[in-house]
Structure 1
Amino acid sequence: MKLLIRGIYSTALAKLLIDKGFKIIRPTKSQMERFGLTNLAIEPDAVITDSSDRHFIEVKGVLEVVNILTSEMRNFFEDLIILWKMKDMNNSCVRIGFPFEAMKKLDELRSMVTYTVPWHHYCRAGGETLSSMVSFAEDLVERGLVSPEEMNKMFEEQVKQFTPKLGSKIRIVHVKLDGGRIILGPGKVIWRGNETIKVLRRIMSSGIYDGLGIPKQVGDYAVTEARKLDMWTKTSYYSFSGNFKGAYYNICTPVAFYPDQIHYFDLEIDVVYLPNLEVKIIDREHLEQAFNQEIISSKLFEKALKQAEKISYERP
């Protein structure tokens, strides 16, 4: 089973898949150095590349090989998001999303091969600026200019600074389990502390608030509260005059903080808090559907369900 692997996850995935019996062909220079590979200029059975937003990989190739590869990855990672874009008798294309826990395991895999800063893949997925920061830090260690222990400590401190700054304008990147992206904002960070932020957005359209079933009016505003790596965000809606309209808890994969955005995969199930103080869990059937379609694992399904039940009881 011959693979061509490119992108920010390539070293970690090569380590995992070589250990599972796959062969890497047309390796990059770094892949040859790290794994002792030779340049086999033959056609691959499957190709792995990054998605444009860097939070997914795309696997394209022979159906049987893609199926085996996907199964191996599903067994290794507990929280993957697996989407089938195309499938016929001979070929397949799969998108595989990496939430935070998967990125941690990717870091562990990569560190078995070469020095890897903490939060390596988390930062790589955050854009070119953060990706360059990772490369610079790891190069300093590889050249012997900074010890691994010292760099680990410095880098951990640097990542803590990713919490969006007070007063900054950021986006909320909400990735659906069908692969679609909903980008909310820009919103303004109006509160920041203890790796938690509150983001204010003005409502510019009318209609009905999803899940709450109450009128949405121009002039309303929303305040979204998010804490780094929590599996939920809370958005409270208010009228122009400040009257509370309701709150919506979105259950998601651990929230990633970047200087200009927060990012997560929506797990479909939600909790709503109505003005009459009624609290209810909604859209559980969508979570169940994602599990039945093998988009998410049983463990991620259980985590999402337990999180929704906890919120409905505690009302944080």
Structure 2
Amino acid sequence: MKLSVRGIYSTALIKLLIDKGFKIVKPTRSQIERFGLTNLAVEPEAVISDSSDRHFIEIRGVLEVVNPLVVELKNFFEDLIVIWRMKDANNSWVRVGFPVDAKKKLDELRSMIAYTVPWHHYCRAGGEAISNMVSFAEDLVEKGLVPPEEMSRMFEEQVNQFTPRLKSRIRIVHVKLNGKRILLGPGKVIWRSDETIKILRRIMSSGVYDGLGIQKQVGDYAVTEARKLDVWTKTSYYSLSGNFKGAYYNISTPIAFYPDHIHYFDLDVDVVYLPNLEVKIIDTELLEQALNQEIISGKLFEKALKTADRICCEKP
């Protein structure tokens, strides 16, 4: 089973897939140096590349290679988001999303091959500036200019400062289980601690708040509370005069914080908190559908339901 692998996840994925019996063809110069690869001119049966937002990979190729490749990835990572776009014998296409925990396992794989800063793939996916910071730091270590332990300590400190700044304007990148990327905001950071922020957004349209069934009016505002690496956000809605309209808990994969945005994969199931103090879980059928379609694993399914149950009990 012959693969060509490109992109920010390539070193980690090649390490994993070679161990699983796949052959890497058409390697880059760095891949040749790191893995001693020799299949330079052989055509691949499947190609792995980054998606445009770098939180997914795209796999395209013949089904008899793509399918076992996806199976191996799902066996290794518990929290993958797997979206089949096309399933044809000669032309299959699947998108595989890497939440935070999967990125950490990718770091472990890469570190077996080359020096890898903490949060390597987390940062690689966070934008060009942060990605360049990774390259610069690892290059300093590889050239012997900074000891690995010292660089790892300094880099970890930098990542811990990624919490968006007070009064900055940021976006919420909300990725659905069908791969749709929804940008919420920009909103203003109105409260901040080391790992928690509150984001204020003004409501600019009318209608009904999804899940709450409550009238939405121009002039309303929403306050979203998010904690780094937590698995839910809470958005409280208020009228122009400040009257509480309801709250919406969005269950997700661990939330990634970057200087100008936060990112997570939405797991579809949610908890709503109504003005009459009623609390209920909604959209469990969407989560079940994702499980049945093998978009998510059974373990991720169970985690999402347990989180929803806990929120219902604790109302954080």
Please indicate the TM-score interval, normalised by the length of the shorter structure: over 0.9
In structure 2, what is the equivalent of residue 116 of structure 1? 116
Instruction: Tell me, yes or no, if structure 1 residue 86 matches structure 2 residue 89.
Output: no
CA distance in structure 1 between the aligned counterparts of 2:95 and 2:88, rounded to whole angstroms:
16
In structure 2, what is the equivalent of residue 66 of structure 1? 66
In structure 1, what is the equivalent of residue 46 of structure 2? 46
In structure 2, what is the equivalent of residue 313 of structure 1? 313
In structure 1, what is the equivalent of residue 270 of structure 2? 270
Deviation at 1:87, TM superposition (A): 1.4
Q: How many residues align?
A: 316
| More displaced 10-residue stretch of structure 1: 88-97 or 216-225 | 88-97
Instruction: Tell me, yes or no, if structure 1 residue 216 matches structure 2 residue 216.
Output: yes
Deviation at 1:54, TM superposition (A): 0.2
Q: Structure 1 regions of 5+ residues with no counterpart? A: none
In structure 1, what is the equivalent of residue 285 of structure 2? 285
CA distance in structure 2 between the aligned counterparts of 1:309 and 1:90, rounded to whole angstroms:
44
In structure 2, what is the equivalent of residue 183 of structure 1? 183
CA distance in structure 2 between the aligned counterparts of 1:89 and 1:173, rounded to whole angstroms:
34
Deviation at 1:21, TM superposition (A): 0.5
Indicate the SS of the match to 1:30. Answer: helix
Deviation at 1:38, TM superposition (A): 1.7
Deviation at 1:88, TM superposition (A): 1.8
In structure 2, what is the equivalent of residue 169 of structure 1? 169
CA-based RMSD of the aligned residues comes to: 0.6
> Which residues of 2 match residues 87-236 of structure 1 at below 5 A?
87-236=87-236
Indicate the SS of the match to 2:262. Answer: strand
Indicate the SS of the match to 1:236. Answer: strand
In structure 2, what is the equivalent of residue 14 of structure 1? 14
The 8 Å contact of residues 24 and 39 in structure 2, kept in 1 or not, is answered as no
Q: What is the one-letter code of the residue matched to 2:241?
A: S
Q: What is the one-letter code of the residue matched to 2:48?
A: I
Indicate the SS of the match to 1:219. Answer: coil
CA distance in structure 1 between the aligned counterparts of 2:37 and 2:89, rounded to whole angstroms:
32
Deviation at 1:39, TM superposition (A): 4.5
Q: What is the one-letter code of the residue matched to 1:243?
A: N
Q: What is the one-letter code of the residue matched to 2:121?
A: H
Indicate the SS of the match to 1:183. Answer: strand
C-alpha offsets along residues 100-144 of structure 1, whole Å, 9 cap, x if unaligned? 110000000000000000000000000110000000000011111
TM-score by length of 2: 0.99
Indicate the SS of the match to 1:306. Answer: helix
CA distance in structure 1 between the aligned counterparts of 2:26 and 2:66, rounded to whole angstroms:
18
The 8 Å contact of residues 163 and 194 in structure 2, kept in 1 or not, is answered as no
Deviation at 1:147, TM superposition (A): 0.7
Q: Which contiguous aligned blocks of 4+ residues in structure 1 show a shift greater than 4 angstroms?
A: none
Deviation at 1:255, TM superposition (A): 0.3
CA distance in structure 2 between the aligned counterparts of 1:81 and 1:259, rounded to whole angstroms:
24
Q: What is the one-letter code of the residue matched to 2:108?
A: E
Indicate the SS of the match to 2:299. Answer: helix
CA distance in structure 2 between the aligned counterparts of 1:163 and 1:273, rounded to whole angstroms:
27
CA distance in structure 2 between the aligned counterparts of 1:126 and 1:176, rounded to whole angstroms:
18
CA distance in structure 1 between the aligned counterparts of 2:32 and 2:278, rounded to whole angstroms:
60
Deviation at 1:23, TM superposition (A): 0.6
In structure 2, what is the equivalent of residue 261 of structure 1? 261
CA distance in structure 1 between the aligned counterparts of 2:40 and 2:163, rounded to whole angstroms:
44
Q: What is the one-letter code of the residue matched to 1:54?
A: R
Q: What is the one-letter code of the residue matched to 2:280?
A: K
